[in-house]
Structure 1
Amino acid sequence: MLGIHDLSLFIISGLLLNIAPGPDSLLIMTRSATQGWRAGSAAALGIGAGTCVHVLAAALGLSALLAASSWAFSVVKWLGAAYLVWIGLAMLISRRSEAANEGAGDAPPAPPPLPYRKIFSQGFWTNVLNPKVALFFLAFVPQFIAPEAPHKALAFIVLGAIFNFNGMLWCHLLAVSTALASRRLRPGALLARWLNRGIGALFLSFGLRLALSERP
C-alpha cells in the first residue's frame, strides 16, 4: 500500500521511541501531576499538533532544508533552547516568589493552575522548536517507504499519522496514569512546589543541552 513496507516493525519502533523519556513526556507528567489528567491531555494534544507540523514539513521537503542548512538548523535549535530555558526559569522564578510570600508569614500556596490553552501551546512549541524531531522524521520514516513508491509524500504522511496516533495513545495513557498516581499520593502544597521547582530545573537543563548540541 503506497509503497509502505514493514508496517508492524514501524509501529513497534514508533511505540518504543514514544515511550523514551524526554521534554514532551516530562511536560505531560508535570501538568497531570499538578492539574489532573485533562491538563496532561492538553499538553499531549499540543505535542501531537507539533508532530503534525514536523510530519508535513518532512513530507514537503522542508526538513531536508533544515538538515542541509547549518544556518537554518542553528536558528531553530536556538529558538527551541531559548523556549525550554524560558519555561524552566519561569517555573523556578515562580517558586521563588511563593517562597518569599511564605517567609512573610503567608500560608504556602499550591502552584497556580495554567489555562488549558496555554498548556496546549507549551506542548506545541516544545515539540515544534526541537530541530532534532524534524531530523528524526527525515531519517526514520523513509526507511519504511520503498524507493519505487509512486507517491512518497503521501506515504510519508500516512506513516507520520500512524506514528502520531500511537504517540497520542501513549501520551494520554501517561497523562491519566500520572494523574491517578498523584491523586493517590495526594501531594501537599509544599511537595507540589518542590516538584515544580525540580521540573523547572530539568527543563532548564534540557534547554542548555539542546543549545550545546551539534547537528547529528
Structure 2
Amino acid sequence: MELSLLTFALMAMIVVMTPGPTVLLALSNGSKYGLYSASYGILGAALSDGILIAAAALGLGALLAASVFWFMVVKSIGVAYLIWIGLQMLRSSGTLGSVPVQSTNESAGTPDSSRTIFAKSFLVAATNPKGYLFFSAFLPQFLTPSEPLITQYITLAFVFIAVDVAMMFAYAGLGAKAMQFLSDRGALWLDRTCGGFLVLLGLALAFVRHRDV
C-alpha cells in the first residue's frame, strides 16, 4: 500500500505540474496579488479536488462517460467559464495589486477580493468534465477491492490534494517572485499570456467529443 501511495503521489505530481487552468490562475494570482492572496485561489482549487474525487467515488464520472447529454451540459458550462475568465485576463490593466510574496493582506487597490479569487479557481476546476472522468479512470488503479473503498478514496484524496496544493504554491510563488523584477507592463503581458492560454484551453475543451474521453 505504501508503494502504491508513493506511485500515486509521483503520478499526481506529474499531472499537476502540467500547466492547466488552476495552475495558470495560481501563477497569475501570485504575480498580481502576492502569495498570501493567491492562497485563496489555491484553497478553492483544493476544495474542487475533494469534490471531484467524491463525485468520482459516487459514480458521477461514470454517468458523464455514459451520458452524452450530461457530458455536454457540464462541458458547455466549463467552456463558457474558462473563456470568460481568459477574456477578463486579456483585458487586464496589468497593475500590480500587492507586494509580491511579502504581502500579509490584500491591498486596498486589489481588484479581486479573496472570495472572488477563491471562487474563480474553484469553478474553473469544478466545471471541467474531464476532471470527473480523469479521477474516475485514475483512482481505481490504486484501489484494493478487498479493503474498505471509502477509506482508500479519502486517503487518495488527501495525497492528491497535498500534492496539488504544494505545486500550486510553487507556481504562485514563482509568479510573485517574478513580479519583483518586472514592471506593470511585465504584469500586463504575464496576465494576458495566462488569459490567452485559458481561452485556448476553453476552445480545446469545446472540441472534445464525448466519444474521445
Which TM-score band (shorter chain)? 0.7 to 0.9
Does structure 2 retain, via aligned residues, the 8 Å contact 1:88–1:204?
yes
Match 2:115 to one of 117, 123, 141: 117
Kindly tell me: are residues 198 and 20 of structure 1, through their superposed partners in 2, closer, same or farther at Cα, counting changes over 3 Å? closer
SS at match of 1:32: helix
In structure 1, the residue matched to 2:6 is 8
In structure 2, the residue matched to 1:146 is 144
- Could you tell me how far apart the structure 2 residues matched to 1:81 and 1:170 are? 24
Gaps of 5+ in 1: 99-107
Does structure 2 retain, via aligned residues, the 8 Å contact 1:5–1:146?
no
SS at match of 1:48: helix
Is 1:198 the counterpart of 2:193 in the alignment? Answer: yes
Does structure 1 retain, via aligned residues, the 8 Å contact 2:74–2:129?
yes
Summarize deviations over 1:181-203 as a string: whole Å, max 9, x none: 322x1x22222223222222221
In structure 1, the residue matched to 2:206 is 211
Equivalences for residues 168-187 of structure 1 within 5 A: 168-183=165-180, 185=181, 187=182
SS at match of 1:74: helix
Summarize deviations over 1:4-52 as a string: whole Å, max 9, x none: 8722211111111111111111110011011111232221111111111
Shift of 1:122: 0.5
The CA RMSD over aligned residues, in Å, is: 2.0
Does structure 2 retain, via aligned residues, the 8 Å contact 1:141–1:160?
no
Equivalences for residues 2-151 of structure 1 within 5 A: 6-92=4-90, 94-95=91-92, 113=110, 114-149=112-147, 151=148
Gaps of 5+ in 2: 98-108
Summarize deviations over 1:39-83 as a string: whole Å, max 9, x none: 322211111111111011111222221221111111101100000
Q: How many residues align?
A: 199
Query: What's the TM-score once normalised by structure 2's chain length?
Result: 0.85
Is 1:189 the counterpart of 2:187 in the alignment? Answer: no
- After TM superposition, which residue ranges in structure 1, 4 or more long, deviate above 6 angstroms? none
Amino acid across the alignment from 2:161: N
